[in-house]
Amino acid sequence: MVLNTELTRMLGIKHPIVQGGMQWVGLPALAAAVAKAGGVGILTALTQPSPDALREAIRETRQIIGDGPCPGKFGVNITLLPSITPPDYAGFVRAAMDEGVDIFETAGNNPGPIIKLIKTYQAPGQSSIPRRYVIHKCVAVRHALSAQKMGVDLLSIDGFECAGHPGEEDIGGLVLLARAAKELKIPFISSGGIADGRGLAASLALGAQGCNMGTRFMCTVEAPIHQNIKEQIVASSERDTVHMFRTLKNTARVFKNKVSSEVVRLEKRPEGAKFEELRELVAGARGKLVYENGDPEYGIWSAGISMGLIDDIPTCKDLCDRMVADAEKVIADMASMSSKAKL
């Protein structure tokens, strides 16, 4: 079961599968499990309270992986958010590089300075600057073209189907990936709506070199969230998400529950809603508690429409192996449709 793509060759991994950075979910247990499964596990920097805490998370991830050979890798997500008092992004990045991390997933506003830091920083004790890789997430091809000029190595093209922030243009992956294949000069992976081998095969057919998954990895044995939430994902369908913050031009796809429905109701009033009115409903602390206490109605939590494709809770290894085997079968079946193959 091997799919050899530019992603697997570039990063030296077994499977062309990346675990997306997820707030409160991208913790050592999950990142290590995905790496041991042959993909790229991602630690989410902003889940940690400080750069020093990120250092400890990196060390814990390595400890879980162990000293033996590992078919995958792990990296760190840096999501750049609009804020009056932004986090110490550079501090998080330097901490990760000091710990020897060489894969970064970036997302959000103006990644240029962070990309430059990743490419030029020489950590204490290093005799030279090591080769580091940046995967930048984009929701539009024009953003991807800008990131390409900034020197990123890979792009993650996020369609309208994805959890979290899909942008304001509502372009699905089918068109977005095909556009990316026509216009980009560097490799890209798909993101949004991918949860099985068929989605992986479709991504490859559209020009991607692999896929990025968030919601699907939330529903695995090793995901560090309450079992009730995993079972809620299994029980849900593609109709069980909602977009909020549309009127604030900061659209987010989240699980449809009482809290998110109330946010949408307030936004739909003739006078709309100001963020100050919504602040308590959407507080990150409430969303974190959802994963801890297992009550899917307690707060806002991200989920993609790929929930409609999820019907079990496998280990990360079983999931990745199965996806690749299923994708290979789909690819073989499609090859048999070719008239040239029949001659």
- The pLDDT of residue 1 is 63
Radius of gyration of the chain (CA): 20
Eight-state DSSP code of residue 302? B
Structure tokens at 178: 């095909």
Question: How far is the C-alpha of 231 from the C-alpha of 248, rounded, in Å?
Answer: 32
| Type and span of the H or E element at 266 | helix 258-267
C-beta separation of 137 from 187 below 8 A: no
Structure tokens at 326: 């299923």
The separation between CA 155 and the C-alpha centre of its own chain, rounded to angstroms, equals: 12
**Residues facing 135 on adjacent strands:** 105, 154
Residue 197: C-alpha distances to residues 105, 201, 205 (Å)? 23, 6, 12
Instruction: Tell me which residue has tokens 């970036």.
Output: 106
Neighbours of 274 (CB within 10 A): 11
DSSP string, 124-179: TT-SSPPP-EEEEEESSHHHHHHHHHHT-SEEEEE-TTSSB---SS---HHHHHHH
- The pLDDT of residue 291 is 98
**Residues facing 124 on adjacent strands:** none
Domains annotated for the chain, with CATH where assigned, are 6-222 (3.20.20.70), 241-302 (no CATH)
Burial grade of 27 (CB within 10 A; 0-12, 13-18, 19 or more): buried
User: Which candidate, 317, 318, 341, 321, places its Cα nearest to that of 329?
Assistant: 321
Question: How far is the C-alpha of 198 from the C-alpha of 211, rounded, in Å?
Answer: 11
- The pLDDT of residue 338 is 82
Residue 36: C-alpha distances to residues 234, 281, 286, 321 (Å)? 24, 37, 31, 11
Structure tokens at 271: 């006078």
Question: What string of pLDDT tens digits covers the 343 residues of the chain?
Answer: 689 999 999 999 999 999 999 999 999 999 999 999 999 999 999 999 999 999 999 999 999 999 999 999 999 999 998 777 899 999 999 999 999 999 999 999 889 999 999 999 999 999 999 999 999 999 999 999 999 999 999 999 999 999 999 999 999 999 999 999 999 999 999 999 999 999 999 999 999 999 999 999 999 999 999 999 999 999 999 999 999 999 999 999 999 999 999 999 999 999 999 999 999 999 999 999 999 999 999 999 999 999 999 999 999 999 999 999 999 999 999 999 986 655 5
Question: How far is the C-alpha of 338 from the C-alpha of 322, rounded, in Å?
Answer: 25
- The pLDDT of residue 84 is 75
- The pLDDT of residue 81 is 85
Question: How far is the C-alpha of 93 from the C-alpha of 76, rounded, in Å?
Answer: 8
C-beta separation of 6 from 187 below 8 A: yes
Query: Reduced to 3 states, what is the DSSP secondary structure of residue 24?
Result: coil
